[in-house]
Structure 1
Amino acid sequence: MRKLKLATFVSLDGVMQAPGGPTEDPTGGFPFGGWLPPFFDDTVGEFVGGALGEDYDLLLGRKTYEIFAAHWGHSGDEMGALFTTIAKYVAAGPETPLNWNNSHRLEGDVAEAVAKLKAEGDRDLLIQGSGQLIQALLKANLIDDLTTLTFPVVLGTGKRLFEPGDHARTWTLVETKHSPSGVVCSRYERAGEVQSGSFAMPDPNEEEAARQARMRREG
């Protein structure tokens, strides 16, 4: 079974929208498109290259597919040639044309389609961008590997990697480094359910018992 990997650029407050440029994704009136390039350096580039590798197929949502097809499908560089050659599986309805070479539409329930895709192939699947698709696959517990490049900027608005939803779980850090520009590059593997513990005293004193009671009343 192949792994499903997620690689994404995020701000300190978890925003992943439009890192590459002002026109990339201005939906919702997002005013900070292009927040990534000022921090991009050789260390970031090397980590991205190592994290992505070359032996994978792409898994994309509709908006990210359109961004990639319009850019990488016409770039003429090495990355564009790779993305054009490999298979691209797209979560998009029939109204979206898939004219980019070697593009395939996911049919039916997206989580079921991706689970089937993982079971059938031998090349890992890589998600980039595709926020809505990420949310669905996190909820279905289908993402195996998470690479985040966290940039030293707080945006305060925009689409976030982890929106509120049913995807609480733990991840194991397997690799990390930081760049001269302050970008923290980390790779995690899916671990298990969230475990809890407590530093509280086993027998709370009167003040602590009153505080707990007040918190329960306040909901």
Structure 2
Amino acid sequence: MRRLITNTFLTLDGVMQAPGGPDEDVDGGFGLGGWSVNFWDDHMGDTMGETMGVPFDLVLGRRTYDIFAAHWPRATDEDGAKPLNEATKYVASRQRPALEWQNSVLLDDDVPTAVAALKGTDGPELQVHGSANLLQTLIRHDLVDEYRLWIFPVLVGTGKRLFADGVVPASLELVTSSVSTTGVVIGTYRPAGAVTIGSFALE
């Protein structure tokens, strides 16, 4: 059984859209792309290195795949390039694109069933980076085994959210946490069953 793990940059108000640059994702007229860039420090680099330092394959939405495919095959000297280029990339797309980045595989149209079947195979962990639209499907079908959330001290107001409409109520367990020198809170969470409710009301 392979674990499916998200690695998601979030604003404090829950937006994950376009953390890396102004033109990354302008859907809905989003004009604050690149909000994560100026917070980067050595601790964040080390943490990302640990994430990329284990065997993994990728499950990506089409937009994130195109961004990665335009950069990493040509940036072979950068940190992280080798594992990303060597990983198998499983791509969800509503169309039938030609996937030219090495080791790329197009998922079947029934993405939840395809990803569930993929999780049942032998192999390294499956990492999801970016891929806001795909994540809505994976979360709704309870396919995420671990959330690695990087929460940045910035508010953008509107944009694509990781936990959007249609999220199934659930509890999460905090497994690890750390804070960068720039105030980015990095937490790893795993599903922990149903929501347990109570009351502070006096009897």
Matched, 1:156 2:157: yes
Q: Say whether the 8 Å CA contact 2:52–2:80 is kept in structure 1.
A: no
SS class of match (1:8): strand
Matched, 1:118 2:119: yes
State the structure with more CA Rg: 1
Alignment of 1:27-66 (within 5 A): 27-66=27-66
Alignment of 1:104-183 (within 5 A): 104-183=105-184
User: Take 2:40 and 2:133, find their aligned partners in 1: how far apart are those partners?
Assistant: 26
Q: Say whether the 8 Å CA contact 2:171–2:195 is kept in structure 1.
A: yes
Could you tell me how far 1:94 is from its partner in structure 2? 4.3
Alignment of 1:185-204 (within 5 A): 185-202=186-203
Could you tell me how far 1:168 is from its partner in structure 2? 1.4
The one-letter code sitting in structure 2 at the alignment partner of 1:158 is: G
Q: Say whether the 8 Å CA contact 1:51–1:147 is kept in structure 2.
A: no
Could you tell me which residue of structure 2 aligns to residue 205 of structure 1? none
Could you tell me how far 1:80 is from its partner in structure 2? 2.1
User: Take 1:155 and 1:47, find their aligned partners in 2: how far apart are those partners?
Assistant: 25
Structure 1 length as normaliser, TM-score? 0.88
Moved more, 47-56 or 157-166: 47-56
User: Take 1:53 and 1:167, find their aligned partners in 2: how far apart are those partners?
Assistant: 31
Could you tell me how far 1:173 is from its partner in structure 2? 0.5
Moved over 3 A (4+): none
The gaps in structure 2 that reach 5 residues or longer are: none
C-alpha deviations, 1:137-190, integer Å up to 9, x for none?
Answer: 111111001101111100001111110113211111010010111110111111
Q: Say whether the 8 Å CA contact 2:94–2:109 is kept in structure 1.
A: no
User: Take 1:177 and 1:79, find their aligned partners in 2: how far apart are those partners?
Assistant: 21
Higher fraction of helix: 1
Q: Percent identity?
A: 46
Could you tell me how far 1:108 is from its partner in structure 2? 3.0
SS class of match (1:125): strand
The one-letter code sitting in structure 1 at the alignment partner of 2:59 is: L
Could you tell me which residue of structure 1 aligns to residue 80 of structure 2? 79
The one-letter code sitting in structure 2 at the alignment partner of 1:41 is: D
Q: What is the total number of aligned residue pairs between the two structures?
A: 202
User: Take 1:167 and 1:61, find their aligned partners in 2: how far apart are those partners?
Assistant: 21
Q: Say whether the 8 Å CA contact 1:168–1:193 is kept in structure 2.
A: yes
SS class of match (2:96): coil
Q: Say whether the 8 Å CA contact 1:171–1:192 is kept in structure 2.
A: yes
SS class of match (2:120): helix
Q: Say whether the 8 Å CA contact 1:146–1:188 is kept in structure 2.
A: yes
User: Take 1:24 and 1:166, find their aligned partners in 2: how far apart are those partners?
Assistant: 25
The gaps in structure 1 that reach 5 residues or longer are: 203-219
SS class of match (2:133): helix
SS class of match (1:120): coil
User: Take 1:167 and 1:51, find their aligned partners in 2: how far apart are those partners?
Assistant: 27
SS class of match (1:116): helix
Matched, 1:16 2:36: no
The one-letter code sitting in structure 1 at the alignment partner of 2:190 is: E
